[in-house]
Amino acid sequence: MWWEAVCVLLGAPMVLGITELLQNSDFEVDEFRPEDGAWYPNGCDADWDSESYTGNHSVKVTNRGDNWGGIAYDLTLPGSKNYYFKAMIKLLNTHPGSLFAKVQVMLGVYESSGSPKYVTVGEVRFMEPQMWQVIGGDFSTPADVKKLHLYVQILDADVNYLLDTSTLHEIPTIPSNWRSQADLAIEKYRKADLNIRAMGSPDALKDLTVEVNQEKHEFGFGSAVSAAMIVDSRYKAYQNFFYDNFEWGVLENKLKWRQMEWSEGHVDYDTALNAIDAMLKHGIQIRAHNMFWAVEKNVPQWQKGMTGQTLWKQMERRIQGVIPRTKGKVEHWDVNNEDVHGHFYEIGTGDANVTMWMFREIHKLDPHVKLFLNDFGVVKDRYSTQAFYDQAMMFKNTPNVPLYGLGIQSHLEPPIDMSVLKYRLDQILATGLPIWITELDISEPVDDRKADLYEDVLRLYFSTPQIHGIMFWGFWDGRHWKPVAALASGQSVTPNAAGRRWQKLFKQDWRTVDQVRPLSTGQATVRGFKGRYSLTLKRRGVTLHNEDVILGNGGTNLTISMAGLGDTLHVSNILVG
Ligand SMILES: *[C@@H]1O[C@H](CO)[C@@H](O)[C@H](O)[C@H]1NC(C)=O
Ligand SMILES: *[C@@H]1O[C@H](CO)[C@@H](O)[C@H](O)[C@H]1NC(C)=O
Ligand SMILES: *[C@@H]1O[C@H](CO)[C@@H](O)[C@H](O)[C@H]1NC(C)=O
């Protein structure tokens, strides 16, 4: 199927119709020359090295004179196309005293006139030395592109590295019929068969019908909410819209450390817990966001400047204070939010792997809660995708790190190129980890266009089997960090075109309701969206029995035994299996 066909194996010159555009892409030839169509040293030395990621050799880059000094490639490519570059890199050292180096793939773009423009194609801000990691990203060529200059840049000039297994290829254009293909995938992956067998005498089965209604999705459809508004009686319309249109909730702010503890030692647990309890009462499932926030501007003010043991103790206190209170109530935690974009706790403690420690500590106190890496720019921007991939793979491959899955935020803005969005998503699917879309919003001011964009993005995500849930980052323009992205507006929280589109998808297209089947033959099947169902057994319109059933992976078989006749007809037994 389409999402499986597009699979790029690093180092292979031609994979499933994808043409490698680089010469000597695996560095298997000892030839580095400054001409069009070859890797060459620019402001550095380049030597053939017998250590490799694939094949028998890599290139070793040393004696870099400047930040920009490194291995480079000049090339000419057609205009108005999208490309993906990636390569494996292993840093041989960091700048003395630094835990990390900032590694970038840069592109100088020369058009027929004017000076070159420099584009960051890929960036890993916090790369550790002595391990192979991927660096790269996508770019698009302007219509009148003349020449491109691709190079690896490291912000400390004294960092040496090996580079191997490079690839540059065109991003395949998403098929024009992708929506119908996505619908086939939705049919295949999101639905299952509910087989109902009724046992009893022909007289008992006569005129018997079953009505099947989906009560809840297996897939997580949810939104962020304001902890204040979800419990404040002045915001009934806000609450009603939320409960009517979503099945999962996440507090926008009130579980964040800075918001819970404005001044050191004075922790407000109640605001968050009251909001969570209110949602739980309505059957909402909860994501928790976030235990720590890696970006310095978002940590509690009083914490800035804290280092070493002082900071460790604060982190322990935070985990021990929060986790016992949310245990059993929340199903997910974002552990160290946006760790690809900030490293406050790594740098503060001097421990490059402190985030792995956070995962273990939370897991010890709540072994059932699912722990996530959560980041932005993963599918929205060109340059953070591989950084997130690297981090995910490092966590996945380190023993005893209880990483469950990856949160891709998805704060999107038009224009959205679905080919590129999907290609970035595919990079993350390659981790093999479960994925949630955690903070979806699309800032499009024209309502009808916004509706179409949301539908496309939702359809792409919902058709991807590795994605298990989609959370909007708010829904009401009266309470949204980007009001133009909202689904509903005004005092009465009225759905706009995008909101109505969401309701159509969530309540009709992707939900199985009002399915009535006769049971007189003793057998009926409903193929429905996975989730929780209510079954109503009726005879000539009179309800005999109600039953809740879970329709999960692989389908569900239900055997209903009928006993009695006429007025005494009743269900004697129900067997699920
Ligand atoms: C790597 O070395 C082996 C053993 O010498 C050789 O058979 C193989 O062809 C080499 N691979 C490449 C890609 O040059
Ligand atoms: C961090 O963990 C990674 C993966 O297990 C390991 O390779 C690396 O050496 C660790 N870094 C430090 C500074 O301990
Ligand atoms: C349902 O019953 C069918 C036919 O007996 C069987 O092949 C299938 O494995 C059953 N499915 C489940 C989920 O038990």
Domain boundaries, the chain: 19-170, 219-509
The answer to whether residue 1 scores a pLDDT higher than 60 is no
CATH 3.20.20.60 matches 219-509: no
- The C-alpha atoms of residue 113 and residue 110 are separated, in whole angstroms, by 8
Ligand number nearest to the C-alpha of 100:
2
For the chain, how many residues are written? 577
**393 ligand 2 Cβ < 6 A:** no
Atom of ligand 1 nearest to the CA of 55: 13
Residue 179, helix vs strand vs coil: helix
Helices (H), 212-269: 236-245, 257-260
Whether 213 lines ligand 3, by a CB cut-off of 6 Å, is no
Looking at residue 144, its pLDDT comes to 95
- Segment 113-125 mean pLDDT: 95
Q: How does pLDDT run across 26-69, given as a tens digit for each residue?
A: 999 999 987 768 999 999 999 999 999 999 999 999 999 999 99
> Do 275 and 253 contact (CB within 8 A), yes or no?
no
- Residue 2: its pLDDT value, please? 38
- Give the tens place of pLDDT for each residue, 71-88: 999 999 999 999 999 999
Dist. CA 513 → ligand 3 center (Å): 23
Residues 293-324 have pLDDT tens digits of: 999 999 999 999 999 999 999 999 999 999 99
Over residues 232-251, mean pLDDT: 98
- Does ligand 3 come within 6 angstroms of the Cβ of 577? yes
pTM of the model: 0.95
Where does residue 432 fall: left (phi above 0), alpha (psi -120 to 50 degrees), or beta otherwise? left
Q: Do domains 19-170 and 219-509 have the same CATH topology?
A: no
Mutate to test the pocket of ligand 3, among 193, 195, 549 (most ligand atoms within 8 A of CB): 195
Q: Whose CA is nearest to atom 14 of ligand 3?
A: 577
| The CATH fold of domain 19-170 | Jelly Rolls (2.60.120)
Q: Ligand 3 center to residue 577 CA distance, Å?
A: 8
**What ligand has the least distance to the C-alpha of 399?**
2
Strands 531-539 and 208-217 come out as antiparallel
Decide whether any atom of ligand 2 lies within 6 Å of the 398 Cβ: yes
For the CA of 56, the closest atom of ligand 1 is 1
* DSSP string across 274-321: HHHHHHHHTT-EEEEEEEEE-SGGGS-GGGTT--HHHHHHHHHHHHHH
pLDDT one-digit tens code per residue, 153-182 = 999 999 999 999 999 999 999 999 999 999
| Closest listed ligand to the CA of 525 | 3
CB of 516 within 6 A of ligand 2: the answer is no
For ligand 2, the distance from its centroid to the CA atom of residue 354, given in whole angstroms, is: 10
Cα separation of 534 and 532, whole Å?
7
- 488 and 496 in contact (C-beta within 8 Å)? yes
Atom of ligand 3 nearest to the CA of 557: 1
The answer, yes or no, to whether residue 4 has pLDDT greater than 70, is no
Ligand nearest to the CA of 58: 1
Q: pLDDT digit string (tens) for 464-518?
A: 999 999 999 999 999 999 999 999 999 999 999 999 999 999 999 999 999 999 9
Ligand 3 contact via 559 beta carbon (within 6 Å): no
- Based on its alpha-carbon atoms, the radius of gyration of the chain, rounded to whole angstroms, reads 27
Q: Atom 1, ligand 1: which residue's CA is nearest?
A: 56
Q: How far apart are CA 274 and CA 512, in angstroms?
A: 33
Q: Detail the DSSP E strand segments found in 97-207.
A: 101-111, 117-127, 133-140, 145-154, 161-170, 191-199
